[in-house]
Amino acid sequence: MIDFEEPRRRPPYETMVPLINVVFLLLIFFLLAGTMEPSAPVDVNLPAGQISDKNARLPAEIYIEKDGFIWLDKNMVPPELSGLLVRDYLQKQGTDRVAIKADRDAPAEFLLVLMEGLRQAGVKQVTLETSQAQ
């Protein structure tokens, strides 16, 4: 008589549903736990400084890139036209307070030209934003 081996049993089919559930829950956790802020229109490297008031937000934000171009909201302004255009922008915003986020590699002349334009526009308060020193 021939002795046939019994066929090997296959392992039970493993489902991916528990793994998908865990990944989905992790995704939800990281979305809820992360901080969400609106992204800046340009990427500038802020110089280091001290924290004064973290919750104070000024209504008008002006960005200066390291090549000297100025951004008002999402509009780029060449440095030589900054005074006039910033004045018009601030009048439209209805504010006399400005926060400037200048790249640490930006030449100081561009900041000085902008500050002069802000002074002529009647700006009462200018804040230069920095990143926290580590």
Q: For 38-81, what is each residue's pLDDT tens digit?
A: 777 888 887 777 656 555 445 678 888 888 788 887 888 876 66
Res 59: pLDDT? 64
Q: Domain 48-132 has what CATH class?
A: alpha beta
Residue 26 above 90 pLDDT? yes
Long-range contacts of 108-116 (CB under 8 A, 24+ apart): 109/68, 110/64, 110/68, 110/70, 110/79, 110/82, 111/64, 113/79, 113/82, 113/83, 114/62, 114/64, 114/70, 114/79, 114/82, 114/83, 114/86, 116/83
DSSP 66: T
Residue 99 above 90 pLDDT? no
Domain ranges of the chain: 48-132
Separation between Cα atoms, residue 78 and residue 85, nearest integer Å? 10
Could you give the percent of the chain with pLDDT greater than 90?
5
Pick the most confident of 24-33, 75-84, 86-95, 106-115.
Answer: 24-33
Separation between Cα atoms, residue 27 and residue 29, nearest integer Å? 5
Cβ atoms of 117 and 86 within 8 Å: the answer is yes
Q: For 113-134, what is each residue's pLDDT tens digit?
A: 888 878 877 788 888 888 876 6
Q: How does 1-24 read in b/e, with b if 16+ C-beta sit within 10 Å? A: eeeeeeeeeeeeeeeeeeeeeeee
Q: Starting at the earlier edge strand, list the strands of the sheet with 97-102.
A: 75-77, 70-72, 60-64, 97-102, 125-128
Residue 82 above 80 pLDDT? no
Residue 94 above 90 pLDDT? no
